[in-house]
Amino acid sequence: MKIQNGPADKARKARHATVAGERSGQKGAGKGVSSIDRSSDRVVLSERIGTLAESIKEISKVDGPMGASEAKLEELKAAIEAGDYHVDPRKLAASILNSDLGIEE
C-alpha cells in the first residue's frame, strides 16, 4: 500500500517546483514556495582569530620547523649541498622507534 499526497510527497513536489523555477530563471515558481535569498549570508570571525594569526606569525619568526633555529637550518642545508651531511642509520632507527613508543631521549 502506498500513501500518496502525504507530507513527503508534498515536500518532494515543492522542491521539484523550486528547482524547475530556478532552472528557468523564475523565482518562487512553485505554489507557495519562495526561493532562498543567500545574499545576506555572511561569516563573522571573532577578534581572537586575529590574535591567533599574530601569535603564529611571531612563533614562526623565532623558530623554524620543530623548534630549529634559522642558523641551524642554514648549517644543515649547507652541509647537505656540500655532500658533508651523513645520517647514522642506527641512530635514525632508534629515534624513530623511540618516537613511536613515546620514549623521550
Q: For 30-46, what is each residue's pLDDT tens digit?
A: 455 556 677 777 777 77
Asked whether residue 92 carries a pLDDT value surpassing 80, the answer given is yes
Question: What's the confidence (pLDDT) of residue 89?
Answer: 92
6: number of Cβ within 10 Å: 10
State the Cα–Cα distance between residues 50 and 48, nearest whole angstrom: 5
pLDDT at 67: 63
Q: Which three cell numbers stand for residue 63?
A: 623558530
Q: Are 14 and 30 in contact (CB under 8 A)?
A: yes
List, as one string, the DSSP characters of 44-84. ---HHHHHHHHHHHHHHHH--GGG--HHHHHHHHHHHHHT-
Report the share of the chain in percent with pLDDT over 90: 12
* CB 31 within 8 Å of CB 15: no
The confidence score (pLDDT) of residue 70 equals 78
Q: How far apart are CA 101 and CA 105, in angstroms?
A: 11
**What does the pLDDT read at residue 83?**
92
The three cell numbers locating residue 78: 649547507
pLDDT(66) > 70? no
